Amino acid sequence: MKTFFGNRFGSNSGKIVAMDRFDSGRSLSPIRQVEAYWTALLTGDGVPKRAQIDPRGLENILEYTFILERIAPGLARFRLAGSHLNNLAGMEVRGMPLTAFFEPSARGQVSDVLEQVFARPAVAELGLASSGRLGRTQLQARMILLPLKSDLGDISRVLGVMISDGVIGATPRRFTIPDSMVRTVSDVQLPQQPKQQISTGFAEKQEEFKRPGSHLRLVASRDD
């Protein structure tokens, strides 16, 4: 069954878009999986902590997964990024700002979305498009941004997934945002079952991210 969301902000307000599948029919299961995982960690105290995110719970989608760190209002950089994001950029993206994946015309919108994710806090889902020019084919992608608390308790981290549909071709690929949806965390339904206790977190210092087969890589900067 298809799920439809209305655009909640920007110039495309009121547009209804199908967000469960790409045009080719490829499933958005990594988006839905990370959303369900994050939602299961919600409590009455608000958004989960970054340290609660256990890579074992996302093992089959690590190549699409990333962690962002807020470094200024409306600006965040990659602390961890899966191999799919590196392939889209044509380079290692850790340490780069999220806006590096977007056309200059879309970067203001990205900043606005990020600020809503951190400040409200909110969950954002973006429909992305990369035009077919300069030897590139048209490319669709989707991204979800889920707020997290740092170890200090401030909402300054994001758990996200980005997945594209189509031939990547020449890189770097940069995107516009044809459709988008933002929901406040208070609007997200809390799980009915008690959440599972998790003993280890998704900390950048953990050695398991260096094990063979892992798609995520460490970021050199220190997570305060």
pLDDT-wise least confident of 44-53, 59-68, 130-139? 130-139
- Please give the Cα distance from 31 to 22 (Å, whole number): 12
What percent of the chain is modeled with pLDDT above 90? 62
- What digits encode the pLDDT tens for the residues 129-145? 998 776 678 899 999 99
Judged against a pLDDT cut of 90, whether residue 224 lies above it is answered with no
- What digits encode the pLDDT tens for the residues 154-212? 999 999 999 999 889 889 999 999 999 999 998 885 544 444 444 444 455 444 434 44
- Please give the Cα distance from 13 to 68 (Å, whole number): 27
> Per CATH, which fold does 4-189 belong to?
Beta-Lactamase (3.30.450)
3-state helix, strand, coil in the chain (%, to 5): 25, 30, 45
